[in-house]
């Protein structure tokens, strides 16, 4: 809707009269604003140049408000030009509750909006990757889910399952369609069940939550994505804010039920700006494409080639061993190096060793724990899941990361990503660096012990190769929760122990100043643990990991990880799980 | 003819435009921010409309509010002054769509001249000398060297993302090129995480000489001589004069004709300034066309006797130029000194505040353009220039003497200004001797 600039300066509301008056004087010569040149922002009410609004993805350039998008408008923003093929247009509408004027209203909406129902479904390509896509449209009875919406969605998911294609749904809906009564409620069940079959077939489902997503849609297909993204500030919730307010009789906090609130509470993977959505979806689709046969072997050959041409690996290992033996560092020296804030963090390793990392957030239960990071990345042309303890490099970041000490929700996030990796047959690389699980009241209230135990329980039978690398401090159960894996490696200057040397000295000798002595006794260095058979490999740091040696160390790690992948991916699932069982059975 | 003109600006230039309109019988509308309620332009105009909060983005840069004010007040034209929206092609395009006469060139021309690489290419095609340089970034030393060899030394190596001299090198001969390129690139990688480099011809100790042009809507273009603006501190002009003592009548003719050719190459209309760098061998290179009235337009008015604001309004109203090139004669010498509310001892930090006492001298051949008065509070949100002190006399020496006298008489109390610093420059022997390049301030004062 264009607003006449002149009207802004009128003190009355007689807009129609003013329009007439304007028309009388409107000639070519008199300055005036052509119709449609400007659009008023729904939120800040500032005038936006209409062409700016359209070229700017329908986001207000003044206040950043996201205008709602029609389904076809959204499709044109997301998919490759001309690749969208619409499915199931013109399904017959019923009026199960014989609600007065319902069908007439539907007919009228079809005419006014140019869409067929509150969802448009079909198949399209995003950056040349084929996917099934569904887009809700709030212009059609608030995007509510009646039987046609449920049917279109279910059919699209079923077809995606049989065509072995991913599904991407953009949600925005008031929930169930009241006019259709219980038939509407059944759509929640129907769509969810179809999505379970799609998931069981090992296929990817991504949801993008847009403003507003509420009620029965939130409680069914919106929250079932393997990956859940949301546009900024979108309202997402089950009960509407008005209902909650009326029920509890209190004002709701600022930002309640918005995307940012959901991210903080662990329910979504990320908030993505509208202008970045297409690229993000394309990247996620690429990260879910299976690797070409032999890609890991080729990657290893490539690495060997740029590393040294032909490498005598035995000699290399002997040299490293010799160098290590000549080192005069004590166990306590290693503890101090391992704890140094200069050490690379999990994200440093992830960005150095892999490509295209996409971080995923949240445990889907309570929160997003900053002390554990995880996501999907490419290693040697193959998608892998990476998970690690993350310490901060500044005080501020350390508070966000809780100094690398995880709460139960951190372990639950890791478990969610472990299960996801298993579903998509992705190997997992863990990076362990934690003083230990967080000793706190909340952590106990939410079941710290149970969370760690559950990781051990589940990791033991994950059907994909698992590799864990202790990069700094391997602190007890909190570390083991990410280290029940096929192989465990340690950085040369990392430590791995049942408790801190200070704790050891304090419990056994009642004197925590004897920590350096304890460190020797505890056999917590990489060399000690290799001898004990607790770990398989020591990663040399030549001799300490820093900016100068980083490249060399990372290249070594890439080669060894590629070897690991080649070796373990050739094993059958049974063999893999048996091996892992026996690895820990022997202790 | 324009009946009512809205001035989309503030300060002395707004006042200057209001005065020209009064003399022409055109009604004026001032727009002002909440911080400018007491400013002179707000009080002098026939009507004044508050368009928003103090921050320029909420007021003088807010296109919608300015268009609203124009239409609401019934004005049929906008004069943008300089700065703010004066070279914003989008704003000019909106004026065109809304049938508002914009006093300046069309949005197309502004867009073309605003895009540096497009402007360069247009000029190169038209045979205007430009500073040779790479259009695309270079990454490899030997390819860059080939380019440098082609355009000739000295050359400047610049980082695409550079700043503060980082990743920048001047190379005087071919043997040193590779080493300099590599070290500049290393610096760029370390500093900005990027390795794209540009090469351009380096002009040693140039002078900044610009030509004022006027072009009507019928293809007539004249130039009004040059202004020498070489006295600059970090690319901010401090003193401007006309004529330049660096060029003689023959070179003036050549440069003036080149300026006209440049204007014609883009179909330029209204007042504009073609900027050149002049090297010690009298080679000159096109830099850009400023598509607006300049701060220093007054010195051209003093030596030509023309009123540039009135000429702008006449051209915008569709009138033909009243002059041909042969009518334009430069008489005498004029110079302008910019007085800013800033403290040279604190690295020229702006010094807003209330002016307790202001004494401005007059006299024969003295012109002072300002919008400040005793008791006026300088808001902290905008440009710090408060006075343009201009003098006119028979020759350069007389003008400098006159300006020294004028500056000595000015009293501004309550705020810090660069008055003494400017006085120093006028007393500088090198300045008096005319040995000025754009490095003058750096070489003589270290700033």
A113-141 residues labelled b (16+ CB within 10 A) or e (exposed): bebbbbbbbbbbbbeebebbbbbbbbbbb
From A9's Cα to the closest Cα of chain B, the distance in A is 7
> Could you identify the residue written with the tokens 């019934």?
B74
**Would the pLDDT of B272 be above 60?**
yes
Residues A525 and A458 in one domain: yes
**CATH of residue A468:** 3.90.226.10
| pLDDT for residue A22 | 41
Q: Please check whether residue B75 touches A, CB under 8 A.
A: yes
* 3-class state of residue B418 by DSSP: coil
ipTM rounded to 2 decimals: 0.75
Interface of A with B (CB under 8 A): 5-6, 8-9, 28-34, 37-38, 46-47, 49
| pLDDT for residue A23 | 40
Sequence-distant (6+) residues with CB within 8 A of A525 are: A331, A334, A495
Any domain includes A190: yes
CA atoms within 13 A on the CB side of A88: 25
Q: What are phi and psi of B293, to 5 degrees?
A: -70, 145
Sequence-distant (6+) residues with CB within 8 A of B381 are: B33, B35, B54, B55, B56
- Tens of pLDDT along B100-145? 999 999 999 999 998 888 898 999 999 999 999 888 888 888 999 9
Could you tell me the maximum CA-CA distance found in chain A, to the nearest angstrom? Answer: 98
Residues A81 and A187 in one domain: yes
Any domain includes A63: no
Average pLDDT over residues A98-117: 93
Give the C-alpha separation, B219 to B216, whole Å: 6
**Would the pLDDT of A46 be above 80?**
yes
**Would the pLDDT of A457 be above 60?**
yes
Among B75, B76, B97, select the one facing A34 at the smallest CB separation. Answer: B97
- Tell me if A33 and B71 make a contact (CB, 8 A cut-off): yes
CA atoms within 13 A on the CB side of A534: 18
Residues A108 and A238 in one domain: yes
Q: What are phi and psi of A39, to 5 degrees?
A: -130, 140
Any domain includes A174: yes
| pLDDT for residue A308 | 63
> Could you identify the residue written with the tokens 């887009």?
A135
What residue numbers bound the domain in which A153 lies?
Answer: 71-287
Residues A273 and A370 in one domain: no
- Preferred mutation among A8, A33, A46, A48 to probe B, highest tally of B CBs within 10 A: A33
**Would the pLDDT of A587 be above 50?**
yes
| pLDDT for residue A9 | 45
User: Do you find a cis peptide bond into A192, omega within 30 degrees of 0?
Assistant: no
- Tens of pLDDT along A304-344? 877 666 667 788 888 888 888 888 888 899 998 999 888 99
Q: Please check whether residue B98 touches A, CB under 8 A.
A: yes
Sequence-distant (6+) residues with CB within 8 A of B132 are: B151, B200, B201
| pLDDT for residue A15 | 37
Average pLDDT over residues A80-108: 94
When the pLDDT of each residue in chain A is averaged and rounded to a whole number, the result is: 91
Residues A413 and A443 in one domain: yes
pLDDT over 90 for what percent of chain A?
77
- Tens of pLDDT along B388-412? 999 999 999 999 999 999 999 999 9
* Whether the Cβ atoms of residue A178 and residue A141 lie closer than 8 Å to each other: no
- Tens of pLDDT along A506-539? 999 998 889 999 999 999 999 999 999 999 999 9
Among B63, B64, B70, select the one facing A31 at the smallest CB separation. Answer: B70
Any domain includes A171: yes
| pLDDT for residue A28 | 55
Give the C-alpha separation, A134 to A168, whole Å: 6
Residues A79 and A135 in one domain: yes
Q: Please check whether residue B103 touches A, CB under 8 A.
A: no
- Tens of pLDDT along A168-187? 999 999 999 999 999 999 99
| pLDDT for residue B147 | 92
Confidence of residue B311 (pLDDT cuts 50, 70, 90): very high
A19-48 residues labelled b (16+ CB within 10 A) or e (exposed): eeeeeeeeeeeebbbeeebbbebeeeebbb
Residues A278 and A235 in one domain: yes
Burial class (CB in 10 A: 0-12, 13-18, 19+), A260: middle
Residues A100 and A12 in one domain: no
Residue B246: closest CA among B206, B218, B188: B206
Q: Which fold has domain B141-201?
A: Dna Ligase; domain 1 (3.30.1490)
Residues A38 and A187 in one domain: no
**Would the pLDDT of A68 be above 50?**
yes
Residue B122: closest CA among B279, B291, B264: B264
Give the C-alpha separation, A461 to A466, whole Å: 10
Average pLDDT over residues B189-204: 85
Residues A457 and A331 in one domain: yes
- Tell me if B71 and A29 make a contact (CB, 8 A cut-off): no
| DSSP at B7 | E
For chain B, the structural domain boundaries read 4-103, 141-201, 207-445
Average pLDDT over residues B439-444: 93
| pLDDT for residue B14 | 98
Among B63, B94, B99, select the one facing A32 at the smallest CB separation. Answer: B99
- Residues on chain B touching A33 (C-beta within 8 angstroms): 67, 71, 97-98
- Residues on chain A touching B98 (C-beta within 8 angstroms): 31-34, 37
* 3-class state of residue A504 by DSSP: helix
Q: Please check whether residue B71 touches A, CB under 8 A.
A: yes
Average pLDDT over residues A124-149: 96
Number of compact structural domains in chain A: 3
Count of Cβ atoms closer than 10 Å to residue B225 Cβ: 21
How is domain B207-445 classified at the architecture level of CATH?
Answer: 2-Layer Sandwich (3.30)
| pLDDT for residue B163 | 64
Among A8, A9, A32, select the one facing B98 at the smallest CB separation. Answer: A32
Residues in a beta bridge with A229: A208, A270
Residues A120 and A261 in one domain: yes
Q: Which CATH number applies to B4-103: 3.40.50.20, 3.30.360.10, 3.40.1230.10, 2.40.160.10?
A: 3.40.50.20
From B260's Cα to the closest Cα of chain A, the distance in A is 32
| pLDDT for residue B244 | 96
Residues A281 and A302 in one domain: no
| pLDDT for residue A310 | 63
Any domain includes A376: yes
From A552's Cα to the closest Cα of chain B, the distance in A is 19
Residue A32: closest CA among A1, A5, A3, A14: A5
CA atoms within 13 A on the CB side of A196: 7
Which of A351-360, B3-12, B131-140 is predicted least confidently? B131-140
pTM reported for the whole predicted model? 0.78
CA atoms within 13 A on the CB side of B408: 8
* Whether the Cβ atoms of residue B199 and residue B133 lie closer than 8 Å to each other: yes
- Tens of pLDDT along A372-387? 999 999 999 999 999 9
Sequence-distant (6+) residues with CB within 8 A of B202 are: B153, B154, B155, B156, B170, B171
From B76's Cα to the closest Cα of chain A, the distance in A is 6
Q: Indicate which residues of B carry an active-site annotation.
A: 292
Give the C-alpha separation, A17 to A308, whole Å: 83
When the pLDDT of each residue in chain B is averaged and rounded to a whole number, the result is: 94
Confidence of residue A16 (pLDDT cuts 50, 70, 90): very low
- Tens of pLDDT along A532-571? 999 999 999 888 888 778 888 998 999 999 999 999 999 9
Greater model confidence, B52 or A394: B52
Among A8, A28, A29, select the one facing B68 at the smallest CB separation. Answer: A8
**Would the pLDDT of A13 be above 70?**
no
- Tens of pLDDT along B358-371? 999 999 999 999 99
């Amino acid at each position: 809707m264009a607003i006449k600039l002149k009207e802004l300066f009128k003190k009355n509301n007689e807009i129609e009269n003013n329009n007439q008056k304007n028309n009388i004087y409107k000639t070519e010569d008199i300055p005036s604003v052509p119709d449609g040149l400007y659009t008023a922002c729904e939120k800040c009410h500032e005038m936006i140049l209409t062409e700016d609004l359209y070229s700017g993805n329908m986001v207000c350039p003044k206040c950043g408000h996201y205008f709602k998008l029609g389904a076809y408008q959204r499709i044109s923003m997301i998919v490759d030009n001309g690749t969208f093929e619409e499915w199931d247009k013109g399904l017959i509408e019923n009026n199960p509750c014989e609600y007065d004027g319902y069908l007439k209203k539907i007919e009228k909406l079809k005419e006014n909006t140019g869409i067929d129902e509150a969802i448009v479904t079909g198949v399209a390509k995003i950056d040349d990757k084929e996917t099934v896509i569904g887009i809700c449209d709030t212009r059609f009875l608030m995007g509510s889910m009646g039987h046609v919406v449920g049917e279109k969605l279910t059919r699209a998911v079923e077809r995606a399952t049989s065509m072995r294609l991913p599904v991407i749904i953009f949600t925005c809906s008031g929930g169930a369609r009241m006019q259709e009564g219980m038939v509407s409620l059944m759509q929640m069940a129907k769509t969810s069940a179809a999505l379970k079959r799609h998931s069981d077939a090992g296929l990817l489902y991504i949801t993008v939550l847009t403003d507003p997503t509420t009620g029965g849609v939130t409680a069914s297909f919106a929250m079932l994505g393997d990956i859940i993204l949301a546009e900024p500030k979108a309202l997402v919730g089950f009960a509407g804010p008005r209902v909650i307010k009326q029920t509890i009789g209190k004002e709701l906090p600022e930002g309640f039920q918005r995307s940012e609130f959901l991210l903080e509470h662990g329910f979504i993977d990320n908030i993505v700006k509208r202008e970045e959505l297409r690229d993000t979806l394309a990247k996620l689709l690429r990260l879910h494409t299976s690797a070409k046969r032999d890609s890991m072997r080729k990657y290893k050959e490539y690495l060997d080639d740029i590393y040294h041409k032909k490498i005598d690996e035995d000699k290399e290992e002997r040299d490293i061993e010799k160098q290590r033996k000549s080192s005069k560092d004590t166990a306590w020296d290693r503890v101090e190096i391992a704890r140094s804030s200069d050490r690379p963090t999990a994200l440093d390793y992830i960005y150095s060793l892999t490509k295209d990392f996409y971080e995923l957030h949240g445990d889907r239960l309570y929160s997003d724990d900053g002390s554990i990071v995880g996501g999907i990345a490419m290693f040697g042309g193959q998608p892998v899941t990476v998970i690690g303890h993350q310490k901060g490099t500044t005080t501020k970041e350390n508070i966000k990361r809780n100094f690398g000490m995880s709460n139960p929700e951190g372990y639950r996030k890791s478990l969610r990503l472990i299960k996801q990796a298993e579903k998509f047959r992705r190997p997992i690389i863990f990076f362990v660096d934690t003083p230990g699980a967080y000793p706190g009241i909340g952590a106990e209230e939410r079941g710290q012990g149970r969370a760690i135990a559950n990781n051990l329980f589940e990791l033991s039978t994950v059907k994909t190769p698992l590799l864990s690398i202790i990069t700094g401090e391997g602190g007890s159960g909190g570390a083991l929760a990410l280290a029940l894996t096929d192989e465990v490696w340690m950085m040369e200057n990392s430590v791995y122990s049942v408790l801190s040397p200070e704790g050891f000295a304090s419990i056994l000798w009642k004197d925590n100043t004897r920590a350096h002595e304890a460190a020797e006794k505890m056999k917590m260095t990489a060399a000690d643990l290799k001898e004990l058979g607790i770990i398989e490999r020591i990663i040399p740091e030549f001799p300490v990991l820093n900016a100068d040696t980083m490249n060399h160390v990372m290249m070594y790690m890439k080669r060894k990880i590629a070897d690991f992948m080649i070796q373990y991916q050739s094993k059958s699932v049974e063999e893999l799980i048996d091996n892992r069982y026996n690895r820990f059975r022997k202790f | 003819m324009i009946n009512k003109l809205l001035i989309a600006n503030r300060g002395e230039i707004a006042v200057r435009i209001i005065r020209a309109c009064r003399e022409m019988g055109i009604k004026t509308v001032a727009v002002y921010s909440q911080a400018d309620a007491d400013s002179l332009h707000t009080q002098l105009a026939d009507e004044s409309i508050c368009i928003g909060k103090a921050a320029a983005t909420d007021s003088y840069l807010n296109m919608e509010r300015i268009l609203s004010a124009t239409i609401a007040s019934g004005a049929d034209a906008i004069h943008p002054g300089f700065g703010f929206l004066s070279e914003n092609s989008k704003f000019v395009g909106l004026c065109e769509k809304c049938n508002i006469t914009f006093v300046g060139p069309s949005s197309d021309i502004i867009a073309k001249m605003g895009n540096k690489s497009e402007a360069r290419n247009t000029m190169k095609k038209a045979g205007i000398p430009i500073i040779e340089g790479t259009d695309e970034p270079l990454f490899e030393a030997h390819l860059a060297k080939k380019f440098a060899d082609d355009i000739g030394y000295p050359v400047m190596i610049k980082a695409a993302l550079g700043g503060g001299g980082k990743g920048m090198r001047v190379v005087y001969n071919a043997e040193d090129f590779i080493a300099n390129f590599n070290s500049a690139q290393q610096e760029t990688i370390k500093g900005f995480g990027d390795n794209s480099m540009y090469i351009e011809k380096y002009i040693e100790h140039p002078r900044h000489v610009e030509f004022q042009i006027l072009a009507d809507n019928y293809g007539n273009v004249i130039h009004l001589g040059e202004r020498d603006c070489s006295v600059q501190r970090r690319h901010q002009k401090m003193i401007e004069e006309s004529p330049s003592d660096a060029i003689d009548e023959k070179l003036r003719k050549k440069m003036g004709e080149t300026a006209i050719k440049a204007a014609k190459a883009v179909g330029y209309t209204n007042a504009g300034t073609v900027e050149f760098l002049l090297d010690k061998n009298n080679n000159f290179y096109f830099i850009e066309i400023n598509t607006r009235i300049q701060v220093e337009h007054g010195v051209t008015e003093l030596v030509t006797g023309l009123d540039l604001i009135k000429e702008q309004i006449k051209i915008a109203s569709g009138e033909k130029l009243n002059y041909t090139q042969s009518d334009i004669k430069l008489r005498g010498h004029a110079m302008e000194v910019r007085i800013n509310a800033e403290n040279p001892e604190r690295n020229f930090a702006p010094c807003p505040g209330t002016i307790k006492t202001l004494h401005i001298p007059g006299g024969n051949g003295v012109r002072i353009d300002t919008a400040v008065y005793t008791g006026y509070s300088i808001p902290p949100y905008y440009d710090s220039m408060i006075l343009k002190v201009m003098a006119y006399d028979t020759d350069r020496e007389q003008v400098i003497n006159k300006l020294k006298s004028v500056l000595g008489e000015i009293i501004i109390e309550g705020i810090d200004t660069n008055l003494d610093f400017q006085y120093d420059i006028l007393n500088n022997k090198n300045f008096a001797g005319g040995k000025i390049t754009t490095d003058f301030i750096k070489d003589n004062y270290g700033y």
